[in-house]
Amino acid sequence: MNASAGGQEFEFTDSDFNRLRDLVYAHTGIALSDAKRQLVYSRLARRLRKLNLTTFGEYCSTVEAGGAEEMQELTNAITTNLTSFFREQYHFDQLAAEALPQAQNQRAATRRVRLWSAGCSTGEEPYSIAIVLREAFARLQNWDVKLLATDIDSKVVQTAAAGVYDAERLKGMSVERRTRWFTRDAAGPDTYSAATELKSLITFKKLNLLDPWPMKGPFDIIFCRNVVIYFDKDTQRRLFERMAETQQVGGWLFIGHSENLFNVTRRYKLVGRTVYRRTE
């Protein structure tokens, strides 16, 4: 195939990029900056090849013509899924030391605790939470504890639900935890599968945070880390307002290390390093 101007395989004009930006923003709330232009090109070029298209203009028209399948392919392509087990360890320390004991005390009558990992990516975050849950609730019988894990990217949700990781991915945890909570998988000599005890705590679902939410809560603890950095302030305000409505006073919210709620919402109070609690 002949290269377009600039040496690129496909023609990719300002108009094409702006059309894609508008589509992505309307569907996902993600605001793509000019700096993301090359990333968008490189990630979507494979879709053009697969669809036998010759320009991004044709691709834009294909997406705009409707069809949830290609919109999902576009979403999967432009979302970033950088994650690891026990990433930002201080959050899991505070989860174990403060958030879970508080939830246990608050829910002593019902013995029901609900958590949500919003933007679960390939599953390292929810499985890390599940490990802390199993360790925290190990001596408590007959508790109803469930973790909802969601992501807009359908492919990473499938990966997360499978719960199979190579040894390199497990370096974020201690040998003791790896031995306790993962077993060697038949897929390969250095491949490990999450224990059934972890999987049984988690429900994985594809969810676009801009869409109506099928769950109502209340969630005692929400992890929404490194998600809203891709949203503009108005979208962040709407999102955290909706999250606050799914939590009761005292509910916990964990966000990413480079995120904050300043000038976004007054529904949460800072109580730790990017850790908040729901206020009146």
Q: Does the annotation mark 134 as catalytic? A: no
Buried b / exposed e over 179-208, threshold 16 CB at 10 Å, is eebbeebeeeeebbbbbeebbebbebeebb
- DSSP codes, 193-214: EE-HHHHTTEEEEE--TTSPPS
Residue whose C-alpha is closest to residue 41's, from 68, 64, 14, 67: 14
The helix (run of H) or strand (run of E) holding residue 99 is none
* Token couple for 25: 């923003």
100 contacts 188 by C-beta, under 8 angstroms: no
Q: Does the annotation mark 151 as catalytic? A: yes
The angle subtended at Cα 180 by Cα 138 and Cα 135, nearest 5°, is 25
Dihedral of the alpha carbons of 88, 89, 93, 96, in degrees to the nearest 10: 90
CB 155: neighbour CB atoms within 10 A? 17
Backbone angles phi, psi at 172, to 5 degrees: -80, 5
4 contacts 10 by C-beta, under 8 angstroms: yes
Amino acid identity of residue 29, one-letter, is G
Whether the CA torsion 114, 117, 118, 120 is positive or negative: it is negative
Active-site entry in 19, 47, 114, 151: 151
Whether the CA torsion 218, 222, 227, 229 is positive or negative: it is positive
For the annotated catalytic residues, the residue numbers are 43, 151
